[in-house]
Chains A and B, each alone.
Chain A
Amino acid sequence: MKALGAAPHNGILDWLFNWFYNLFLNWNMSEASAAAWASGMNQLIAFLIIVIFIVVTVLFVVLFERRVLGFFQIRHGPNRVGPQGLFQTVADALKLLQKEDIMPLAAEPITYNIAPFAVFVPSILAFVVIPMGAAYVGGSYNVLIVRDLNIGILYLLAVSSVALIGFLMAGWGSNNKYALISAFRNAAQIISYEVPMILAILGVVLVAGSTSMVDIVHSQSVVWNIVPQFVGFLIYLICGLAETNRCPFDLPEAESELVAGFHTEYSGMKFALFFLAEYTNVFVISAIITTLFLGGWKGPMFLGAGGLWLTSIFWFLAKTYIMVTIFVWLRATLPRFRVDHLMGFAWKFLVPVAVVNILVIGLGVAFSHPLYMGSPGNINERLTADARVVALTQLSSSSIYNIMFDSEKVEGPVRIIEGNGTVDFGWINTAYGAMSDDMKTFFWAYNVFAFLFLILILFTVWKVIRGVKRAPKLEVMWSAVSGGEADAKA
């Protein structure tokens, strides 16, 4: 493996690769063909796992949304097909598969037919860089991720932007006015909201010092980003809503204005692809929020080292579904924005706030504020943070801790740490103690400022959600729009 130049700790796939590689070597294959076959097997297995996971997830997210929405809207959701309606989406998909595939005569065949795939594929590609957990496999610490790209978050942004072309193709190819307006709304919306979104992500990247999704998760070993970067979290949440066309940013699919938006003319499985892409995106955005701000798979690992894979996946899914629930909650509560309000909100409010947010985080990073240091920069401590939490939750059974580290026979940068089973926060004190008096003054001033900033933002959010009791006094606009002269004419 090392001979092939693959980086260690690059995910469970590398372990799999090794396993197959050794297997094939045992079968008396040459080294080169064993490597080729192993990588082929690797890709096949990864492909299968990801496809199965995506299909199950999307089917479940659709049902989840409908049931939760039903709960918010004082009604039962679908609960007839299978236990608790679990197979409702399967039944719907089967129904859509059997539908006739209708194409309007005036449609542009090529763009019309490619568009659903151009929308669906990017949403699936996003799964590549989402770390879903961690596991000890064969004694080595692995992250459950398809590829830990070192440009992970940039890759996500690039991939999610590709879907936009699919929307435009659908709008243009359908040769339908509703679809066209919807596609242009969508383009304007996604481009506008990507700006504050990237600014919010920058804060996370600053703290993590890396664009790799795994590094970003590891940087939250001590404090989740949502605490020091709450503003960034909100900005990203809002932009994520806009990016996925979710309420209150569902203008492209505003059924009261544009019937069904860009997929008005689609039927059968092509419609289903748009539909599934939307829900895949909901899950992906929730997963990204989890990774960037909620500490990814981190959490109390109550099953010990052996069950690390289970607990980490559990935490990842729990956090992600909490985000999905918030998405549904917003959909159940809020009305829709208007186009110009939407643009104004992005450029006049979100972008400035995001810039100030970057400034605050940048200062925090520059002056080594404990909250903005990420976890200690040492790779060893990052990697073992999960193990520490395991030990913390199982103080009595220190044997597990020992077993875990005894069994760890990994070469490379991971060093075996002799621990006493407690999480060491000493570095915070050290960092503070090392400050000069001036620095300490700045530290406290900074803390107060950040706190006030947070209050201000929370207040704004509260206002947005709950609103003001009465409408503001109106300008006398009607006299301008229709005045005495029009009366005289009439």
Chain B
Amino acid sequence: MSSIEKNSVLERRIDSLLTDEITINFGPQHPSTHGVLRLEAKASGEVITAITPHLGYLHRGVEKNLESKEFLQGIPLLDRCDYLSSMFNSYIMAACVEELTEIEVPRRAEWIRVVAMELNRIASHLLWWGTFCLDLGASSPLLYAFRDREDVIDLLELISGARLLYNYIRPGGVRGDVTPEFMKKLEGFTNRFPPYIDEYEELVTGNAIFIERVTNVGVISKERAVNWALSGPMLRGSGVNWDLRINEPYSAYPEFTFDAAVEEGCDVMARYRVRMMEMRQSNRMLKQAVEGLPEGSHTAKVPTSVRCKKGMTYRRIESPRGELGGFMITDQDKAKKPWRFHLRAPSFANLAAIEEMSKGYMVADMIAILGSIDIVLGDVDR
């Protein structure tokens, strides 16, 4: 039955006239690919019939490089993979090393990590929101998103000294303790941010043109989303309640109260709403951290050169883009370097589904769908 319906949907969109398909290249230098992605799209009129993503323009051999670097040296390199959420990449390496060295991380350190990661999630989602709206042709949201992202980045600069690539989370805890000044500013931010989000929702989410552009576009069903190994907002936008912070708790997340953002729409709008909701939930967590940041040390006692025992481990966390996994193998006891480090990049897996999502939709929809995947090419190519 479903195949008949599928045909009818496609037939409605692709007329039966004898026309030539044209091949359009989007990228590697193109305003909407958010980096050096090349999409080879076949279009009949304005309707997409096939898409092939060509990857590798930003391949920097990070995984191979990690094999020749000590664990601590690897963290700044990993930061550069998904450069919009480098806190999460740092955390992956730290978590893998902690598991193989059995370092006990102090409670305060875990809380600070959560604060840092949630701040980073807000910064990442804000940038996504701005660029997504830009893809849809609204130019102002980008500027507003950057205003708030500036606040977040200032906060992250206060704790880590860097604005984009933090190198802050490391085995045993975090690099430096948070200051009272930071906590005060964080509190200010958490109070300031929700009204801004309300304003954005009013400006963009409620807009009739926006709603027409994003509802019922880029539909991927629950089952297909799972089969494609989608994760993060892509998966939750398809109605699967799967958030690693809740389903496989790590760090200090069990101590926080928050909800997983799940939408049943399966379309671009659902993913949009999931991300907007996630920003509110992150802010909620930050508020709890402002009130109840535990006392103690910000790091465990870790030697300058960390040595891991022989073994292998896979740790996965919920990054802004989805399930970020780190698979680390050490081939000897007291290993200074990983023998192999594999990064399970969420952008890569999510991008794979673009053809299924965009087939039968128009070129403009394809841009919206690509925007809704929220890829970072550093993460896709590594």
Q: Which residues of A contact B (CB under 8 A)?
A: 69, 72-75, 177-178, 181, 247-248, 250-251, 254-257, 259, 331-341, 463-469, 471-472, 474-475, 477-487, 490
Contacts and interface: CB of A to CB of B under 8 A. Distances in A.
A467 B32 contact: no
A330 to B, nearest CB: 11
Nearest to B370: A256
A69 B360 CA distance: 36
A483 B3 contact: yes
20 contacts: A74-B143, A178-B24, A248-B137, A255-B31, A255-B32, A256-B32, A256-B136, A335-B207, A338-B362, A341-B212, A471-B269, A472-B215, A477-B9, A478-B221, A482-B356, A483-B5, A483-B6, A483-B221, A486-B6, A487-B224
B209 interface: yes
Contacts of A337: 209, 212-213
A335 B138 contact: yes
B365 interface: yes
Given A254-B364, A338-B365, A468-B206, A478 B138 contact: no
Nearest to B219: A478
B326 to A, nearest CB: 27
B362 to A, nearest CB: 6
Interface in B132-172: 133-140, 143-144, 147
A254 B137 contact: yes
Interface in B113-138: 133-138
Given A256-B31, A480-B9, A481-B360, A487 B227 contact: yes
Interface string B260-278: 0000011101000000000
Nearest to A483: B2
Nearest to A177: B24
B216 A477 contact: yes
B2 A74 contact: no
A206 B203 CA distance: 39
A335 B32 contact: no
Contacts of B3: 483, 485
A445 B369 CA distance: 51
B54 interface: no
B98 interface: no
Given A73-B139, A256-B31, A256-B367, A340 B208 contact: no
A36 B2 CA distance: 79
Interface string B1-13: 1110110110000
Nearest to B2: A483
Given A254-B364, A478-B267, A484-B2, A74 B9 contact: no
A338 B364 CA distance: 7
A471 B209 contact: no
Nearest to A470: B206
A480 B5 contact: yes
Ranked nearest first, the 8 interchain pairs of A and B with the lowest CB-CB distance are: A336-B137, A483-B2, A478-B219, A480-B5, A467-B206, A335-B138, A256-B32, A73-B143
A334 B46 contact: no
Contacts, number: 152
Contacts of B138: 333-336
B30 A248 contact: no
A339 B137 CA distance: 13
A256 B137 contact: yes
A72 B138 CA distance: 12
B302 interface: no
Given A464-B208, A482-B221, A333 B5 contact: no
A340 B362 contact: yes
Contacts of A251: 364
Given A337-B209, A464-B209, A471-B215, 15 more contacts: A73-B144, A74-B144, A181-B363, A248-B209, A256-B367, A259-B30, A331-B139, A335-B207, A336-B136, A338-B365, A467-B206, A477-B216, A482-B6, A482-B224, A486-B224
A75 B209 CA distance: 25
B121 to A, nearest CB: 23
A476 to B, nearest CB: 9
Contact of B221 (A255, A338, A474, A479): A479
A393 B40 CA distance: 67
B361 to A, nearest CB: 9
A474 B216 contact: yes
Contact of A333 (B203, B215, B365): B203
Nearest to B269: A471
A189 B142 CA distance: 27
B212 A481 contact: no
Contacts of A259: 30-31
